Structure 1
Amino acid sequence: MTASFENIPKATHRWSGEFADTELENKFQVYMRPTRISHLQYIAFLAASIFVLLIIPEYFRLGQAPEFIWLALARVSLASVFVTCALAVRRFDTFIDEFAFLCQLVIPIALTLFDFLKGGEIMYIGNMMLVILVSYIFVPNRMVYTLAACSLGTLLAAFSLALFHQHPTSTLIQIYIMLVVSNLFGYVAMQRFNSVRRREYISYMTERQGHEALRAEVERRMATEDGLRLALSDADYASKQKTGALDDLSHELRTPLNAIIGYSESIKREIFGPLENAQYQEYISIIHNSGNHLLDLITNMLDHSKAESGTVELIETTVDVEKLVNGVLPMVGSLAREAEVTVTAKSLTAVPVIKIDEQKVRQILLNLLSNALKFTPAGGSVELIVDVAENNSVILAVKDNGVGIPKEDLEKVFKPFEQSMAHGVRGESGTGLGLSLSMRLAKLHGGYISLESKVNEGSIFTLILPEARNMSANQTA
């Protein structure tokens, strides 16, 4: 159904009970056609059977008199007409209205013919009123055809009564009134039935249209879900391909870079003899520092790509936080001495035992400490603070009294390749990936990194690991 049943008029004709909208009425007739065909066939076969069976009592009453022969031939002929209509209506279903009209028309004519052959049938008028009511109520047809057939039957009955029956005028008037009342009763019943059937049709089609719309929506969402799943699969495959390509590329780049860094380190230390020109000393330092920077960039890009693609797997072990902290501080010791910054650690509560990927968390702390040293001027301090919150989550905070971060830059420091400042206080450059990678590694552990900072006062980067990682709390519970 292309038309929406919410928009087309549903009003029916007052006199017929049929839809006022012609297109809608035609759709209703098409919808009802299979039911009408079955119903009409049943009535036609039933009428044919009754016509034939009535031959038996007439034979016992009339014997082999000529009247019986004519009655029998008439009944068999009419039964044949009904059987033919019943068989043909399914094949020529577009003419169902005409077939139904033929059945409605033949029966009154047949009754009048039998009345004529019998010279006045006692049950004629009763049978005619019954046929009129059956035509209105039980024969499935359009109102105009039914009215025409029943009106003709009423006229035939009126003529037959006047010609073949000897009744007083008052009796004839009463019979005519009964015929008219039968028509009125049948007409009202048919009009009501028509209205009820069409209301049921509208209700059914509206419900079906709702089901179809719901099914279409479900299919659309399933198709969208399938498309998203496929896109996600393609994106995952592309991400893994990208990670693999970066891995290969980093391997190819690290080999010559390590050679550059190693040779420049040897030249810088003058292992094979002094560099006579001071300019060469400056150049070799630049080469060495640039090589290290490029190597850090490649390493961070690869680690970030793996974390982004979800290919990083946590190798979890139970780790003593005190041991973890004591192992991290010496790793930034030389950097702190060069920066002339004091690095210390303290615990605000009993040091917990946590279940983590030790290498990944160590990398987070190293990134946070290195970042703090980079932006803390000489004479400043960096502090690694261990604490346990009231909800038993583990807190590892790196606090410095460096230059701080402007408020407008707080949101972008954890984005890849985003930096609050291009260089540290001593001119060091960074990759812009350390904090982004640290946040991803924290989230892999079910935690996150928070940031508090004020310009010229310093910053606090806080790694928060959930209670589930706190083995000390779990053992206590």
Structure 2
Amino acid sequence: MSPQSAVINDVRSQMGRDSKRAAQKTVLDARQRLTSSSGTRASFDFELMHDYASSRLRSALPIAGLVIILAIVATFWVPPLFTALWAGMVIASLLVVVLVAQRFRASDPAKFNAARWTTSFVIGETICGLSWSTLSLFTLVTNPEPLTAVMFAMVLVAVAANAVATHTLPPATLTSTLPVAITVSGNLIALGGTLNYTLAAVSVCGVVFFVYLARQLHAAELETITHQAEKDSLIAELEEARQMSDEARRHAEQANIAKSQFLATMSHELRTPLNAIIGFSEVLKSELLGPHQVPQYKEYAGDIHSSGQHLLNLINELLDLSRIEAGKYDLNEEVVSLVDIAADCRRMMELRAKSKGIELVYNVGNNLPRLWGDERAIRQVVLNLLSNAIKFTPQNGKIVLVVTRSGDGGQLVSVKDNGPGIPEEEIETVLSSFGQGSLAQKTAEQGAGLGLPIVQKIMELHQGRFDLFSKLRFGTEVIATFPRARVMDALAPVVEKKSRLEIYSEAG
């Protein structure tokens, strides 16, 4: 299998793996949503519970301090013993929640069980919520009338603190806030009176608000985790794509090296027998050793000679293109005349044009200076352009070869024919390596599709430009433009300044 085929197979197999990976990812996402306690992905449950545990551990000390402050304030109306017992129960229940959170933080994430830990946290928060709800027992040991406003304030503080601390675990939010809200609101309603009814209603509304706020915070936290997961996934995909790109580039470089080695080897292996084939077929075609007994042999020898020449030209084009792409095509630059090169190429191609009845017109600009470039490469450019024009121009057609100045002060070679032209959508194909238009595929003189790509690359090596303009049924014009920097314009003559003495002597 050739290196190019290996690269193609690698790309196809990678596309198959990508589609399979996408299908597996879709199935995995669906399964994670079905098994998730948060309704999104099971992998997010650990993140949410980890945030819950961290939040509970961070807020434990401030909430304990808040409980102590509330207990101290309540001593103005409730015996200190009862407030101390209440504070001790709340802090003890808070310690239970802290211990469960610490045990979760110390557990192995690989053995994470969302349902088991959710149950543990909900039980701990239920104990904490029930301990807060003993606040309603204060009315049993003292006059309840002055306590109603204090109990209302303590309920709102408890609900707010617990809702914020448990927002990443909605079931825990409910079990930590509802008991105290229900018991105190029920106690206020039982006491009766417009003020108590109002405080009870406000307490219920406060619980609803803080539970809603906790839900919003939970949604925001979940969205943050989702975006983080998407970012991590994107980074992983980009890293994988980079590795695939590096691997593909390595394969391409290996294929290019193998291609260059193959062409270098085959150039020697093919040229040696081809030279013999071309030489001996020319001897047979010319009948240098005597006439053939069978007339068809001369015709066959001519076919062998022309086929050998065609194959040798194809090998030379392949080698040129390979050297250019490998950056090993070195220009042998010198001062050359673009006019003389174009004239030589016209004479070489004139016989071929006349055989098809094509008129080859040559126009040259006035006083064109010389160029700095590679004569062999420039000659190859002009020959390729003329050869293409003759190949695709019909019988009795016309080709115009022009050498003149370009608009920016450079020089250009233009070859224009009145052939069938090239469809606009095929121009890019024609300019690519081995690319052939529909007309080239139909004609008997089709080549390998390397002429114009070689011209393009030679012009790039000369810092020039190659343009192709064509319209169907109106012909084609190709222009190779050399930059102004390569034009060897004559310098202005140096005028020496005369001294005053010389001027006076001439005047005298």
Q: Is the shorter-chain TM-score for this pair beyond 0.5, marking a shared fold? A: yes
Find 2:154's aligned residue among 127, 131, 139: 131
Aligned match of 1:47? 67
Matching of residue 462 in structure 1 with residue 478 in structure 2: yes
The offset of 1:257, in angstroms, is: 1.2
Amino acid at match of 2:478: T
Checking the alignment, whether the CA contact within 8 Å between 1:343 and 1:383 is kept in structure 2 is: yes
Aligned match of 2:183? 149
Amino acid at match of 2:96: A
The percent of aligned pairs where both chains have the same amino acid is 22
The offset of 1:465, in angstroms, is: 2.4
Cα deviations across residues 388-435 of structure 1 (Å, max 9, x unaligned)?
A: 33344642023568xx336669857656374276446xxxx8555434
Secondary structure in 2 aligned to 1:351? coil
The offset of 1:81, in angstroms, is: 2.8
Secondary structure in 2 aligned to 1:405? coil
| Whole-angstrom CA distance in 1 between matches of 2:246 and 2:339 | 43
Structure 2 matches for 1:60-459, cutoff 5 A? 77-90=85-98, 91=100, 92-109=120-137, 111-112=138-139, 115=142, 127-140=150-163, 141-142=173-174, 144-151=178-185, 153-154=187-188, 158=191, 176-203=193-220, 205-206=222-223, 209=226, 212-213=229-230, 216=233, 220=237, 223-224=240-241, 227-228=244-245, 230-266=247-283, 273-275=289-291, 277=293, 279=295, 280-306=297-323, 310-313=325-328, 315-316=330-331, 320=335, 323-327=337-341, 329-330=343-344, 333=347, 336-337=350-351, 340=354, 345-351=362-368, 354=371, 356-372=373-389, 384-392=401-409, 394-399=411-416, 404-405=419-420, 411=427, 416=434, 418=436, 419=440, 422-423=443-444, 433-442=450-459, 445=463, 447-452=465-470
| Whole-angstrom CA distance in 1 between matches of 2:301 and 2:487 | 49
Find 1:35's aligned residue among 55, 71, 89: 55
The offset of 1:88, in angstroms, is: 0.8
| Whole-angstrom CA distance in 2 between matches of 1:274 and 1:210 | 88
Secondary structure in 1 aligned to 2:178? helix
| Whole-angstrom CA distance in 1 between matches of 2:323 and 2:410 | 27
Amino acid at match of 2:92: T
Cα deviations across residues 65-84 of structure 1 (Å, max 9, x unaligned)?
A: xxx9xx75x66655543332
Alignment gaps of 5+ in structure 2: 1-27, 31-36, 101-119, 164-172, 493-508
Checking the alignment, whether the CA contact within 8 Å between 2:430 and 2:452 is kept in structure 1 is: yes
The offset of 1:386, in angstroms, is: 1.0
Secondary structure in 2 aligned to 1:464? strand
1:315/1:107 CA distance change after superposition, 3 Å: same
The offset of 1:276, in angstroms, is: 5.8
Amino acid at match of 1:185: V
| Whole-angstrom CA distance in 2 between matches of 1:184 and 1:265 | 114
Amino acid at match of 2:340: N
The offset of 1:286, in angstroms, is: 3.4
Amino acid at match of 1:191: V
| Whole-angstrom CA distance in 2 between matches of 1:364 and 1:82 | 93
| Whole-angstrom CA distance in 2 between matches of 1:181 and 1:40 | 32
Checking the alignment, whether the CA contact within 8 Å between 1:413 and 1:420 is kept in structure 2 is: no
Checking the alignment, whether the CA contact within 8 Å between 2:188 and 2:196 is kept in structure 1 is: yes
Aligned match of 1:15? none
Checking the alignment, whether the CA contact within 8 Å between 2:431 and 2:453 is kept in structure 1 is: yes
Amino acid at match of 1:359: R
1:205/1:358 CA distance change after superposition, 3 Å: farther
Checking the alignment, whether the CA contact within 8 Å between 2:151 and 2:184 is kept in structure 1 is: no
Checking the alignment, whether the CA contact within 8 Å between 1:414 and 1:435 is kept in structure 2 is: yes
Checking the alignment, whether the CA contact within 8 Å between 2:338 and 2:371 is kept in structure 1 is: no
The offset of 1:365, in angstroms, is: 1.0
Amino acid at match of 2:97: V
Amino acid at match of 1:131: M
Larger radius of gyration: 1
Alignment gaps of 5+ in structure 1: 4-20, 59-67, 159-172
The offset of 1:87, in angstroms, is: 1.5
* Cα root mean square deviation, aligned: 5.0
Checking the alignment, whether the CA contact within 8 Å between 1:382 and 1:398 is kept in structure 2 is: yes
